[in-house]
Structure 1
């Protein structure tokens, strides 16, 4: 069975015909989430963790428990089950918004799978809405059936979501498996650094980006925590933040903290010292 599911997912990933939908939709979502406050809120930058996975537990949990009551409590649990269905529907709004924000930053196969993931969730939401209306009208049996089918679609969608996270690595920290060097390492000549122009260097196998900003030289891991973008190809703003060229995540040069999403995890920062016109770095807090 897993092999059959894998074939289905690979087929979705390769269906370039879906790009006619993903392209315009992603462009629209990116336009809506362009303001920093909106992007940070939906990405989970303020939380230090991607927001969407946290929120998905609420509608899935509510609808799952509604079905449990339907199957075990009968009429005695009818009112509680209806309230759970309704609560799940309310939770869908922020969950879908955060998911759309994350999805718009993907490309290619993952974006196509994400589109199907969203379509399944939309269909499930329609069924749960119909279930809530049926229950409110006293048609409990119809409501139970609709909820059950909707929960099944939610399960299928959750499988795709798991594939995106655990197979494609969407939303994971792309510096998680770096092994920073705790010893001072000579990486560049001070004269090689130009004002606010990122320079990629190698610190014992770990890519590091150096930036000379004013009278200070800062160093961060060069691989963006969000999606692995090359920070050495990014830009430095007047506030001393380095912007990723892929999705616009911004990190404070002084300590790697995120100032703009979609990144949620700070960029690993490195200690810097200048010795005889050479730049040496070591992992911070080593």
Structure 2
């Protein structure tokens, strides 16, 4: 029994030290938490805010390495000042359009020469038929449905938005019976299907590395924009959003086609990686990328 005494005492002292260590650790933890609460109460969220850690070099680095967002920030401040000080257009007036101001001389030229206006309108209709034919060609002949799906998406949403907010026909509109849509029929102003479809066709040409054809389409599209502004056939916002719509719906159509390919690959019991590898083995990589 005497032989068991010292080890028990040592064990008891060791246990006591461990308990004291645990108690002290908990106490210190409570103090730390209390300190954090105290600090949080004094400094709030700013104490751990990201910008509190910025240095002068970091601020300069933002301007140096991110000039585009910085330019956007300055433009935001500028247009905030413009927006809050500009007088709004009264309901009885026509909308103000900067594109109309820029093309006022061309508008007068076309108004004074109706034959020239008719000629340009006919050329525009031919251009629309060419871009429509190309979009259908990519699906029916080349078996690549992306451009066609993109055009379907685009015209569907154009119809929804155009009907939802029907803009008034611009003052001084120079119509033509041979302009598209042929026959001086009514049409939605927002957004421009002419421009959007041309962008869709051009993007497909670039994916196929048909660079000369793509640049020709882009050039004709720019000329088309100038003509539409000059004839007051569209507001500037219709044309700008038309460009964005072409890019947006081309991207959405690409995601749709890709999702269908992945779904078909899984249905056939293969993985996406295996399916992609098999395409490369069949020398179909270019066709897969452009779809």
TM-score calculated relative to the size of structure 1: 0.27
For normalisation by structure 2, the TM-score amounts to 0.26
The structure with more helix, counted as a fraction of residues: 2
Higher strand share: 1
